[in-house]
Amino acid sequence: MRRPFIAGNWKMNMTAESGTKLIEELKPLVKDANCDVALCVPAILIPAMVKAAQGSNIAIGAENVHWAESGAYTGEISCAQLKEYGVKYAIIGHSERRQYFGETDEGVNKRTLAALAHGITPIVCVGETLEEREGGVTEKVIYKQLKDGLAGVEDVTKVVIAYEPVWAIGTGRTATNVQAQETIAFIRKTIGELFCPKCAEKVIIQYGGSMNAKNCKGLMAQPDIDGGLIGSASLKTEFAQIVNYDNYFEN
């Protein structure tokens, strides 16, 4: 059985003050969740958010991590720097990093291997653009992202994968339950081929892209969807409704 995992991605939003306030509000609302819960926050907010989430079931994650131990990498954050604050997760290869900051599958791979070596769970993002979906190359694109991004990973069950179709991110256009399930089943099958079928059954695969309190229940009901990576809906208490997707009858 795979334990569901709902994570937020604050992207470049919130301040120490507004973030602390939100976490204080969320804590009682998510305390009985039947899933793992995390908020991935901007690096500068990590110390304050770790403090705010202390004693709760909300884990704090980072939005990226560099592969080197230390050195001349201006603007980057190392695994050791994250570990110092007890950070458990790091998003890697988000489409916004790929699109706006030139991150490649090779970089995703190095970051993933470094995170694993330091006991940080990488949330590795994959997904196709609208052009790629319409061109019928979704599976080809995702296969390459998985093969190159996860090359050399020894225990793939320690990796979380987030399927985020680029056309569904921040657009309000969610993949249908069927589209998300189909592609995530393909991802699981590919993990089985690249690693081993038994490992593939254990890997947590999230859906991300305009997931919200209204559509989360349908997405989470799909057999291969184990969780969500939530952008804008993680900036408000709506995140708690998603975390409690199995308890909110009005959803």
d(CA 153, CA 232): 31
- State in angstroms the smallest separation of the CB of 149 from ligand 13P: 16
Smallest distance from ligand 13P to CB 201, Å: 24
DSSP SS3 for 7: strand
Contact between 93 and ligand 13P by CB under 6 A: the answer reads: no
139 is known as an active-site residue = no
In 86-231, alpha helices (H): 95-101, 105-117, 130-134, 138-149, 177-194, 197-202, 216-220
Q: Based on CB atoms, which residue is closest to ligand 13P, 107 or 208?
A: 208
Query: How far is residue 243 CA from its own chain's centroid?
Result: 14
Contact set for ligand 13P, span 7-46 (CB under 6 A): 9
Choice among 66, 94, 96, 103 that is catalytic: 94
Structure tokens at 200: 């593939």
Name which position in 170, 178, 193, 221 contacts ligand 13P (CB under 6 A): 170
- 164/195 with CB nearer ligand 13P: 164
| Residue of 64, 138, 210, 241 interacting with ligand 13P (CB under 6 A) | 210
Site for ligand 13P in 116-135 (CB under 6 A): none
Binding ligand 13P (rule: CB under 6 A), the pick from 211, 216, 225, 242 is: 211
Q: What is the x/- site pattern for ligand 13P, positions 213-232, by CB under 6 A?
A: ----------------xxxx
Q: Is 164 a catalytic residue?
A: yes
Evaluate whether 38 touches 58 at the Cβ level (below 8 Å): yes
Among 169, 199, 220, 242, binds ligand 13P (CB under 6 A): 169
Distance in Å, CB of 67 to ligand 13P, minimum: 21
Helix (H) or strand (E) holding 241: helix 238-243
Catalytic residue among 63, 103, 132, 164: 164
How many degrees, rounded to 5, is the angle at CA 8 between CA 17 and CA 166?
A: 125
Nearest alpha carbon to residue 126 among 207, 210, 52, 48: 207
Q: How far is CA 166 from CA 144, 145, 158, 171, in A?
A: 16, 14, 24, 9
- Residue closer to ligand 13P by CB (options 82, 229) is 229
Shorter beta-carbon distance to ligand 13P: residue 9 or 195: 9
CB 143 within 8 A of CB 118: no
Q: Closest distance between ligand 13P and the C-beta of residue 212, in Å? A: 7
Between CA 52 and CA 73 the distance in angstroms is: 29
Residue 124 has, within 13 A of its CA and on its CB side, a CA count of 32
Contacting positions for ligand 13P (CB under 6 A): 9, 94, 164, 169-170, 208-211, 229-233
The residues annotated with a catalytic role in the active site are 94, 164
